[in-house]
Amino acid sequence: MYREMTTDELQEQLNQGVTLNLIDVREPDEWEEGHISSARSIPLSQFQARAHEVHDVEGEVVFICRSGGRSGRVCEFLTLQGFDVVNVAGGMLAWQGEIVEGK
């Protein structure tokens, strides 16, 4: 089973300068509407083709989506392959921090 963190915990870690490998699995139109500045975009629809990119960045691997469902599926998939990953419960709907719009 994968671990989860709340958006408050995510915000706290980002504020403390913790190095996180934050990956947003929402689709490009959702990403452009607003995302966390330190996140990278690997849309779920492209995930299998781009899964090799997950570990391109150092830090704990943390996934986020709109509500936590899609990122949870990615976490489940990667956990079954032996990876230690974290899902952000509540996703961007629960995120109270700053967002960046556009690409």
Annotated catalytic residues are 65
The neighbour count for residue 29, using CB atoms within 10 Å, is 8
Question: Buried b vs exposed e over 6-24: b needs ≥16 C-beta within 10 Å?
Answer: ebeebbebbeeeeebbbbb
